[in-house]
Structure 1
């Protein structure tokens, strides 16, 4: 790292806080799909990403959980692992992890100082300033390629795949968890269009794995894999989850793959986690079979059993019982509605939710309204929040067709007061759930777990 930082000039950023403020200050440049700026940044840095082995993970839901499974299993197997994910739920440094630990604040500041003048140079060209996510991604690459040198980097896309800034890398295996309706304002408003964007991470000759199930989505993914001569392993065709059951608080299943069958147990709740775990395991099987990764059965099984991912059916309070789940799109809502009665017993279900303004809220409510007794609508502390009154109008319009007769709908714009209301309304035999955007989950989680200095962001 010292060679890259150089000497003789004063550091443009004097502290971790200044570095984070600078990076977040690029947010107004927005989301601009395209690789021109990150390619130029990598060129100026000597293409450090070419030194690393990446597992590239895209998909509508389940990316974070899949990255968590991969990271834990590889760590248990003796590999050093970098993990780059977003959004972060506790602290900005969460997104840059090495062996399960966040990047040190001083290291982040030093790497930001390397990038600062380069970003200014690019901003002065016709390309315009690199975005917050582009600079974060470049910082992650610098961290892994010049500071800690992991054996493998688990690499989550930010948005889509084809034009996502993370697509600068050439991975050893790609994973597309699933395809659903999310970010339709950027990726397109049909499953085929969204699938085409996700399929952009499938690279020539690089094996890929998917847990997508819709015929129209699979047609797009298979066509892309055939075009670039990549072997695509498809859930339900090339690998599957068999004999799933819940026992001793764990989900047990048999992973049936093209090379062997392996019994696995996971602590992560929800049927969707079986799909996420099987997709991660299929990718690891590819590494074991074709890239000579040493992955002992016992280490793999221990890794999957010990995987945890914050804000996914996470019980953050016991009195009253409060479960956090970042379901924020129709597919996530459907899974949440299916999972709650499977894993919890309760008399009444009270749900607090807040959303951003760019989501398919009507489809979300169609899954949630039938199971809820009290619905508290609030607003996340985030610039793109949706007005809770607008959410209520949608819920009221659907009430007659989907909701229980006695459903109570309450609007409380202040999320802190809404949380207090949720707590007061939830008796010992009831269950409270906080759902919606992860920006709300992050704040509620910080409050419940007494982490007042927690940060959040994309």
Structure 2
């Protein structure tokens, strides 16, 4: 790399560090200004837009894999990332090239912030959304699959067209920003439904589903519901993946995905329905074989991911009570017990409820923290009654130390579960793959309250 390129990348990196302090914005006004400055490139993108409390990332990854298998050049925008910020922006499974990423950061930061009279000051997530759109348009993707960052109504991705708006399971998370009841959270998620959208939903909660139906009805959108318009059955799970039958606008037998857990059958069924709706809307040819291959090949790390066999070590990003219950159900279905539990949480999560679900199931606990100030102190977790009642509890302040301890104290025929935070899983993967702890400098973590 030339010295001028290195200096330019450092400037771009510093810019991304700076804008993380802008937090989360309860408004689309600034991202809308940014897109207008760019000529509203998002209007050129056919978009499959996904919101939900749990399952939205898995559904997004599955949709992208199906569409790619159908020969469509597919852009995928997700958040957060596990190790590398460029994981958020991929085309046909390939991360945006490093040089191109930093080039766009430099170009767009200058364009937005050097406006003399009224600079456009985007949040970190808003900026990455704008950068992603600009990149996907420049690469002429056929379809953009976008996962919301948080909520929907005021999420930066809601500047997208949302040709197909998908809403997965709804539960309580980010309650300070989205509301403390299911109907409030559902209302925020349903905000991605726009005039002209076709809607697909697997939000089985009756209150949430009522909100979504009302929103679709109010603005005249078609709605495909799990259990009414599409369904899955005959689910079987193993350490190799999940199989099920699907029935909707097409019927598929013995569909397989390499992702673990019966909940992935639900996510896969939602992805099939979403791709079918998109295909019908835009006359795209998506054959049965495309769906089958796409679901078999999908990559979605950190979701009941097996990273070692002796002992069996499983990583899972569940970080709210409803997702944790699903993970425990999946372990039960697989016939697995939790021998060693490595747990960390963000301070703003409902770690008390999660601990009450997890800790009694574990033979031994290792309480740790990922490498950011947003992480909960292990001593706080140690003070919980479910931790105090355990005979074998360890505290390690570095994830690397927690992992090495778990390997040391867990027999080869037992199971280690790592769970509690996406950032914990990212930290663990960084250590296991590269021998270094996670770098959270560009994770988009912020401490301040929402702002308008």
TM-score by length of 2: 0.92
Which residue is equivalent to 1:179?
A: 170
The structural deviation recorded for 1:109 is: 1.9
- Confirm whether residue 137 of structure 1 aligns to residue 129 of structure 2: yes
TM-score by length of 1: 0.90
- Confirm whether residue 71 of structure 1 aligns to residue 50 of structure 2: no
The structural deviation recorded for 1:329 is: 0.6
- Name the SS of the counterpart of 1:25 in structure 2: helix
Q: Quick check: 1:71–1:83 contact (8 Å CA) kept in 2? A: yes
Deviations 1:189-214 (A, max 9, x none): 11111111000001113111111111
Separation in 1, partners of 2:182, 2:312: 36
Separation in 2, partners of 1:178, 1:222: 14
Separation in 1, partners of 2:76, 2:433: 24
Separation in 1, partners of 2:79, 2:117: 28
Which residue is equivalent to 1:87?
A: 80
Give the stretch that moved more between structures: 317-326 or 161-170. 317-326
Q: Quick check: 1:112–1:139 contact (8 Å CA) kept in 2? A: yes
Separation in 2, partners of 1:414, 1:399: 19
Separation in 1, partners of 2:342, 2:213: 39
1:37 to 18, 30, 39: 30
Separation in 1, partners of 2:120, 2:377: 32
Q: Quick check: 1:317–1:448 contact (8 Å CA) kept in 2? A: no
Separation in 2, partners of 1:52, 1:180: 30
Give the stretch that moved more between structures: 337-346 or 441-450. 337-346
Moved over 3 A (4+): 11-18, 121-125, 451-456
Q: Quick check: 2:186–2:208 contact (8 Å CA) kept in 1? A: yes
- Confirm whether residue 369 of structure 1 aligns to residue 359 of structure 2: yes
Separation in 2, partners of 1:415, 1:109: 29
The structural deviation recorded for 1:35 is: 0.7
Which residue is equivalent to 2:448?
A: none
Separation in 1, partners of 2:241, 2:347: 36
Which residue is equivalent to 2:301?
A: 310
Separation in 2, partners of 1:36, 1:232: 28
Which residue is equivalent to 1:434?
A: 418
Deviations 1:314-333 (A, max 9, x none): 11123332111111110111
- Name the SS of the counterpart of 1:315 in structure 2: strand
- Confirm whether residue 207 of structure 1 aligns to residue 198 of structure 2: yes
Q: Quick check: 1:37–1:122 contact (8 Å CA) kept in 2? A: no
Which residue is equivalent to 1:284?
A: 275
Stretches of structure 2 that go unaligned for 5 or more consecutive residues are: 445-452
- Name the SS of the counterpart of 1:221 in structure 2: helix
- Name the SS of the counterpart of 1:270 in structure 2: coil
The structural deviation recorded for 1:25 is: 2.0
Which residue is equivalent to 1:96?
A: 89
Alpha carbons of 1:223 and 1:14: their partners in 2 closer, same or farther (altered >3 Å)? same
Q: Quick check: 1:12–1:113 contact (8 Å CA) kept in 2? A: no
Q: Quick check: 2:153–2:189 contact (8 Å CA) kept in 1? A: yes
- Confirm whether residue 420 of structure 1 aligns to residue 404 of structure 2: yes
2:14 to 15, 21, 44: 21
Deviations 1:18-45 (A, max 9, x none): 4233223211111112111111111111
Q: Quick check: 1:92–1:455 contact (8 Å CA) kept in 2? A: no
How many residues get paired?
438
Give the stretch that moved more between structures: 336-345 or 37-46. 336-345
The structural deviation recorded for 1:121 is: 4.3
The structural deviation recorded for 1:232 is: 1.6
Which residue is equivalent to 1:5?
A: none
Deviations 1:33-88 (A, max 9, x none): 21111111111111111111111011111122111101111111110001111111
Deviations 1:390-434 (A, max 9, x none): 12223x1x469xxxx755333222222222221111101110011
1:388 to 378, 387, 404: 378
Which residue is equivalent to 1:231?
A: 222
Separation in 2, partners of 1:193, 1:248: 37
Which residue is equivalent to 2:339?
A: 349
- Name the SS of the counterpart of 1:295 in structure 2: coil
Which residue is equivalent to 1:56?
A: 49
Which residue is equivalent to 1:4?
A: none
Stretches of structure 1 that go unaligned for 5 or more consecutive residues are: 1-10
Alpha carbons of 1:13 and 1:137: their partners in 2 closer, same or farther (altered >3 Å)? farther
Separation in 1, partners of 2:219, 2:309: 51
- Name the SS of the counterpart of 1:113 in structure 2: helix
Q: Quick check: 1:185–1:358 contact (8 Å CA) kept in 2? A: no
Separation in 2, partners of 1:132, 1:246: 39
How much is the aligned-residue C-alpha RMSD, in angstroms? 2.1
Separation in 1, partners of 2:435, 2:34: 35
Separation in 1, partners of 2:205, 2:188: 16
Q: Quick check: 2:258–2:297 contact (8 Å CA) kept in 1? A: yes
Separation in 1, partners of 2:5, 2:108: 10
Alpha carbons of 1:73 and 1:17: their partners in 2 closer, same or farther (altered >3 Å)? farther
Alpha carbons of 1:71 and 1:150: their partners in 2 closer, same or farther (altered >3 Å)? same
Which residue is equivalent to 1:443?
A: 427
1:270 to 261, 272, 285: 261
Separation in 1, partners of 2:431, 2:43: 41
Deviations 1:428-451 (A, max 9, x none): 111001111111111111111236
